[in-house]
Chain A
Amino acid sequence: MMEVLEKLIRLPQKGEYMEVRLESIFSTTIRVQNGVVEKIRVGTDEGGYIRLLAPRGSWWFESFQHWDGLQEKVERAINGASLLPKSDIEVIRKPPVEDEKKVTLTDDFRFKSLKDKTSLLLSYDRILREISPLLVSSLVEYRDEFRQIYLANSDGSLIYWEKPDISISFMATARKGDNIEVYRNGVAGKAGFELVKNQETLAQEVGGKALLLLEAPSFSGGVYDVILDPVLAGVFIHEAFGHLSESDTLYHNEELKKIMAKGKKVSSPILNVFDDGSLDNLRGSSPYDDEGIPTGRTYLIKDGYLSGRLHSRETAFLMQEETTGNARTINYGFPPIVRMTNTAIEEGKTTREDLFSDIERGLYAVEYIGGNTALELFTFSAAYGYLIEKGKIKEPVKDVVLSGNLFQTLDKIDAVANDFRWTEVGGCGKGGQMGLPTPTGSPHIRLREVLVGGSHND
């Protein structure tokens, strides 16, 4: 395959920048609901794209499914791009890289039988259903995926790498009359089948949490001191600051560039935030990004000051900054765009106990349902929470949604604990590219006076 690609990338001769990606995705999805194997989906998906930029031109992108006729496709791209309007887009060029990165899995899911996978799911489903008759519905969903990627570009780079991904998620629905509560949780990783085994305790917990939500009152809205658990704190930084650090949101926006200027104070001094796509075995990691740039660590916030941002070749060129290895695509149907990899709030020094101790009346917000952002506005929903009174964790509450203005909120972080951990489940959507693995990490953090949504009726 590499010989074919090597020839192709020599075809453009007028200073174009071109990428050819070929991708093969082998995947299995199994879903068990209420004891029924409702869905088994296995399949192989093959495809690729050609992306080409004429000098000072604009992007030509063609995605396809069959790996034949590549030369004609490249010729069509060269011709097509030459007819597009000029747009002054340029990209950073790099020295060529030739590399092959294969992955060895401990317990390779590709060699597990469907029967083994299915019976594991059925056993978890049984656990979920036996917890309580109030759990009207159980769902266990398993997914594995093994990707092989060939990438060649005009730098002369020829790279092959592999990307395994596996996950299992549990969902329980508890119901009493019209009160219906759903709780879900799971595990995901760049790992083998071993990751999804021995998750009985998690299945138990998921059932238990759905029941807890059924009894918990809704949280009444208002302004509170809030402690975020590591899961929710990770989602917060991803939504609130991570997206604004993606340079494609600001590289043409002079006003936003001023707001997001490097060296500007953006938060309290105890905050350090980074994105790192080179960490071992996290789902957002990869040896290279989808433009063939090696991944690495970029500090977004250092001691409260804005210190970096995430780039593709294009944004880095325009802003005259270094590439960071953050151009990612969800699959061969889409061009790479600036994305986070693994994004985290660095560990602080406060103990978890000290974080709670001086809160008179507040909220401990735990895990998440989702998060969303529109530049400076952000919102994210906790899975549930607990009231805090005089430093102590009290009764559980549900329907906890935190929302606010980024710049005001970052300044309200007044303590960062020393209990850092990564959360790998979940995915991020941007520009029609949904479900990209973007793990987040954080310790517990404390925010003062945050707007929390809710109803005064309850």
Chain B
Amino acid sequence: MIEVASLLKKRGIPGDIFAHQIFNQEVSYEANLFKGYRKEEREGYGLRVINPEGKLGFYAFNRLLNPQEALDKALEVSQLGDRVDFSIPTYPSSWEWENFVDPRVENLEAQEMIELGDYILSRIREEYPRVLVDIVISAGKEEKSLLNHHEEELKFARTFFEIGVSANQTREGDILEVYTERSWGNRDIDVEGLVQEIVSKLEFSQRVANLNSGKYPVVFTPSGSLVLFIALFYGLNGKNWVFGRSPLGDKEGKVLFSSLFSLEEIQEPWALGSCPFDDEGIMTKAQRSIIDRGRVESAFWDLWSAAKKGIKPTGNGFRSSYRDLPEPGFSSLRVKNGLRDRDTLIGELEEGLIVDSVLGLGQSNVASGYFSCNVQLGFYVKKGEIQGRVKDVMISGNAYPALFNLKEISRDSRWIGGRILLPYLLIEPVEVNK
């Protein structure tokens, strides 16, 4: 792609070319049976230019085109594009970051993945011989690079290793499905922890417990709390600030949430979102405060949105694929943890609910923070003891007041999707309907 960059330089057209390569292999199990092996190789390029009138053009392709042809197409598009207020970034010549490539993941053999799958399957079935287990194990490597019209280059590679497991138990009139995942940049995934989580979810689910409609304290597990964070992420999207669509847009510096609540963007090396630069060549910070003790400190800004707002970008321009232009997003996030264990939080509940996953995530009015969801997996707690699984129960409320009504945060946390480190959140009250 250096030819395209050279052409940009020669013609004096500011621009950058983003290249993304992915290699992924996957083994899967369906209903306790080995299903197959899948391998995928993809690469593609996105060429972004700013034409002499200051208008943005973009062209994406996955075949090696003649550089002139790619540039002509991007320039053709730019005639209809938006006049942008940003310039294509220059890149530093060196930075303190290494690739996060684990050779144990990069060179993983299908056979090893199958052995791991067999092991997980047998461990779960030792405890629950009648459940049907689905497993997907993926391992691979991705490389991102950016080249600009100064012929400067940024490059970064990482490996990824992901295990998703669900277990199904079907009886007449009752279908139970529990799920968990672990995703990380290297081989050091806690497989025992994953197995234990599935087994204990099955264990607590064997009894079905009844609770009445009303307001309850609710402990959201790391995966369960996504119902709140999906609204918050919408609210923190810089583009939504620019377009007046975020309730947080006019509240920078204000305290909106519980003083227990702090959210940071971090570059934890093996976390899957972490990166030295975002997808448009802005260097990321090792640590950045987004919400500090309930106060809104910052948001997610890509070049486009930051320029509209007249501020500096924060290194939050990410592309969902080479075919897409950058949009505000995040690398890796962490919610600051608390002092006491999850088990203590639950043990002190007089009467309440644990929410581990919901159906209908992001399908309410995310913009205003409203949520209303079926509890897919949740447990009723009385006098500090888990009584059993709840069925056909809905929770509803608004993520913003809910994070204000945060009563306690656990010490223990878990990475969700390898990208968001979340503790258990105790929120009171939450509306529960049956």
Q: List chain A positions with a Cβ less than 8 A from chain B.
A: 33-34, 36-47, 58-66, 80, 83-85, 87-89, 114-115, 118, 136-137, 173, 175, 178-182, 218, 221-222, 248, 251-253, 255-256, 258-259, 333, 335, 369-381, 398-399, 401, 403-405, 407, 451, 453-457
| Residues 274-294 (chain B) with a chain A CB within 8 angstroms | none
User: Which residue from chain A places its CB closest to the CB of B138 in the assembled complex?
Assistant: A432
Q: Give the residue of A40, A259, A451 whose beta carbon is less than 8 angstroms from that of B81.
A: A40
Q: Give the residue of A37, A62, A89, A456 whose beta carbon is less than 8 angstroms from that of B431.
A: A456
Q: Give the residue of A222, A248, A369 whose beta carbon is less than 8 angstroms from that of B364.
A: A369
Q: Give the residue of A63, A64, A173, A372 whose beta carbon is less than 8 angstroms from that of B363.
A: A372
Give the distance to chain A from B84, nearest Cβ to Cβ, in Å: 9
Task: Collect the chain A residues with CB atoms within 8 Å of residue B395's CB.
Answer: 453
Q: Give the residue of B34, B82, B175 whose beta carbon is less than 8 angstroms from that of A84.
A: B34
The 4 closest A-B pairs by CB, nearest first: A59-B36, A252-B31, A370-B363, A255-B170
Give the distance to chain B from A336, nearest Cβ to Cβ, in Å: 12
Task: Collect the chain B residues with CB atoms within 8 Å of residue A457's CB.
Answer: 431
Q: A44-B61, A178-B368, A453-B394 are in contact. Are A375 and B80 (CB under 8 A)?
A: no
A376 touches B397 (CB 8 A): no
A453 touches B433 (CB 8 A): yes
User: Which residue from chain A places its CB closest to the CB of B397 in the assembled complex?
Assistant: A455
A372 touches B60 (CB 8 A): no
Q: Give the residue of A42, A88, A248, A405 whose beta carbon is less than 8 angstroms from that of B73.
A: A42
Number of A-B contacts (CB under 8 A): 237
B76 touches A114 (CB 8 A): yes
Task: Collect the chain A residues with CB atoms within 8 Å of residue B323's CB.
Answer: 41, 43, 45
A182 touches B431 (CB 8 A): no
Task: Collect the chain A residues with CB atoms within 8 Å of residue B416's CB.
Answer: none
Task: Collect the chain A residues with CB atoms within 8 Å of residue B80's CB.
Answer: 37, 40, 114-115, 118
Task: Collect the chain A residues with CB atoms within 8 Å of residue B195's CB.
Answer: none
Q: Give the residue of A46, A253, A456 whose beta carbon is less than 8 angstroms from that of B170.
A: A253
Give the distance to chain A from B382, nearest Cβ to Cβ, in Å: 22
| Residues 18-70 (chain B) with a chain A CB within 8 angstroms | 30-44, 57-63
* C-alpha gap A247/B132 in the complex (Å): 15
* C-alpha gap A181/B203 in the complex (Å): 41
* C-alpha gap A363/B389 in the complex (Å): 30
Task: Collect the chain B residues with CB atoms within 8 Å of residue A178's CB.
Answer: 247, 368
B39 touches A37 (CB 8 A): no
Sort chain B's interface into a size bin. Answer: 35 or more
Determine if B373 is an interface residue (Cβ-Cβ < 8 Å).
Answer: yes
Give the distance to chain A from B169, nearest Cβ to Cβ, in Å: 8
Q: Give the residue of A47, A66, A335, A405 whose beta carbon is less than 8 angstroms from that of B391.
A: A405
| Residues 68-96 (chain B) with a chain A CB within 8 angstroms | 73, 76-77, 79-82
Task: Collect the chain B residues with CB atoms within 8 Å of residue A453's CB.
Answer: 372-374, 394-396, 433
Q: Give the residue of A259, A405, A451 whose beta carbon is less than 8 angstroms from that of B394.
A: A451
* C-alpha gap A251/B361 in the complex (Å): 28
* C-alpha gap A451/B394 in the complex (Å): 9
Determine if B253 is an interface residue (Cβ-Cβ < 8 Å).
Answer: no
B365 touches A59 (CB 8 A): no
Q: A64-B41, A173-B367 are in contact. Are A372 and B361 (CB under 8 A)?
A: yes
Give the distance to chain B from A265, nearest Cβ to Cβ, in Å: 14
Q: A221-B396, A401-B396 are in contact. Are A44 and B363 (CB under 8 A)?
A: no
Determine if B324 is an interface residue (Cβ-Cβ < 8 Å).
Answer: yes
Determine if B360 is an interface residue (Cβ-Cβ < 8 Å).
Answer: yes
A221 touches B360 (CB 8 A): no
Q: A137-B245, A401-B364 are in contact. Are A43 and B61 (CB under 8 A)?
A: yes
Give the distance to chain B from A94, nearest Cβ to Cβ, in Å: 21
Q: Give the residue of B61, B247, B396 whose beta carbon is less than 8 angstroms from that of A180.
A: B247
Give the distance to chain A from B433, nearest Cβ to Cβ, in Å: 4
B37 touches A84 (CB 8 A): yes
Task: Collect the chain B residues with CB atoms within 8 Å of residue A404's CB.
Answer: 374, 392
Q: A180-B368, A221-B431 are in contact. Are A136 and B40 (CB under 8 A)?
A: no
Give the distance to chain A from B140, nearest Cβ to Cβ, in Å: 13
Q: A42-B73, A179-B368, A453-B396 are in contact. Are A403 and B35 (CB under 8 A)?
A: no
A451 touches B433 (CB 8 A): yes
* C-alpha gap A44/B73 in the complex (Å): 12
Determine if B325 is an interface residue (Cβ-Cβ < 8 Å).
Answer: yes
* C-alpha gap A453/B33 in the complex (Å): 38
| Residues 133-184 (chain B) with a chain A CB within 8 angstroms | 168, 170-175, 177
* C-alpha gap A373/B363 in the complex (Å): 12
Determine if B370 is an interface residue (Cβ-Cβ < 8 Å).
Answer: yes
B433 touches A221 (CB 8 A): yes
A42 touches B34 (CB 8 A): no
Q: Give the residue of A45, A84, A381 whose beta carbon is less than 8 angstroms from that of B36.
A: A84
User: Which residue from chain B places its CB closest to the CB of A88 in the assembled complex?
Assistant: B33
Q: Give the residue of B32, B245, B363 whose beta carbon is less than 8 angstroms from that of A371.
A: B363
A62 touches B73 (CB 8 A): no
Give the distance to chain A from B79, nearest Cβ to Cβ, in Å: 8
B363 touches A369 (CB 8 A): yes
Q: List chain B positions with a Cβ less than 8 A from chain A.
A: 30-44, 57-63, 73, 76-77, 79-82, 110, 114, 132, 168, 170-175, 177, 213, 243-247, 304, 323-325, 359-368, 370, 372-374, 376, 391-392, 394-397, 431, 433-434
Give the distance to chain A from B360, nearest Cβ to Cβ, in Å: 4
Known: A37-B80, A63-B42. 4 other contacts (CB 8 A): A58-B36, A221-B396, A401-B360, A455-B397
Give the distance to chain B from A165, nearest Cβ to Cβ, in Å: 16
* C-alpha gap A136/B394 in the complex (Å): 32
* C-alpha gap A455/B372 in the complex (Å): 9
Give the distance to chain B from A291, nearest Cβ to Cβ, in Å: 15
Task: Collect the chain A residues with CB atoms within 8 Å of residue B361's CB.
Answer: 372
22 contacts between A and B (CB under 8 A): A37-B80, A42-B73, A47-B42, A47-B62, A80-B37, A85-B34, A85-B114, A87-B36, A89-B33, A137-B243, A178-B247, A180-B245, A180-B367, A180-B368, A369-B363, A372-B359, A374-B177, A377-B374, A401-B363, A401-B396, A407-B173, A457-B431
* C-alpha gap A221/B396 in the complex (Å): 9
Q: Give the residue of A252, A333, A381, A407 whose beta carbon is less than 8 angstroms from that of B42.
A: A333
Task: Collect the chain B residues with CB atoms within 8 Å of residue A44's CB.
Answer: 61-63
* C-alpha gap A376/B132 in the complex (Å): 16
Q: Give the residue of A37, A255, A398 whose beta carbon is less than 8 angstroms from that of B365.
A: A398
B170 touches A58 (CB 8 A): no
B244 touches A175 (CB 8 A): yes
Q: A37-B80, A66-B63 are in contact. Are A256 and B245 (CB under 8 A)?
A: no
* C-alpha gap A223/B43 in the complex (Å): 51
Give the distance to chain A from B111, nearest Cβ to Cβ, in Å: 8
Give the distance to chain B from A439, nearest Cβ to Cβ, in Å: 19
B168 touches A136 (CB 8 A): no
Give the distance to chain A from B279, nearest Cβ to Cβ, in Å: 15
* C-alpha gap A248/B155 in the complex (Å): 41
Q: Give the residue of A63, A88, A399 whose beta carbon is less than 8 angstroms from that of B41.
A: A63
Task: Collect the chain B residues with CB atoms within 8 Å of residue A253's CB.
Answer: 31, 132, 168, 170
Q: Give the residue of B39, B77, B363 whose beta carbon is less than 8 angstroms from that of A381.
A: B363
Task: Collect the chain A residues with CB atoms within 8 Å of residue B82's CB.
Answer: 36-38
A43 touches B59 (CB 8 A): yes
Q: Give the residue of B61, B175, B244, B394 whose beta carbon is less than 8 angstroms from that of A375.
A: B175
B42 touches A376 (CB 8 A): no
Give the distance to chain B from A266, nearest Cβ to Cβ, in Å: 13
Task: Collect the chain B residues with CB atoms within 8 Å of residue A380's CB.
Answer: 360, 363
Task: Collect the chain B residues with CB atoms within 8 Å of residue A47's CB.
Answer: 42, 62
B39 touches A62 (CB 8 A): yes
Task: Collect the chain B residues with CB atoms within 8 Å of residue A136's CB.
Answer: 243-245
A175 touches B245 (CB 8 A): yes
Task: Collect the chain A residues with CB atoms within 8 Å of residue B372's CB.
Answer: 221, 381, 399, 401, 453-455
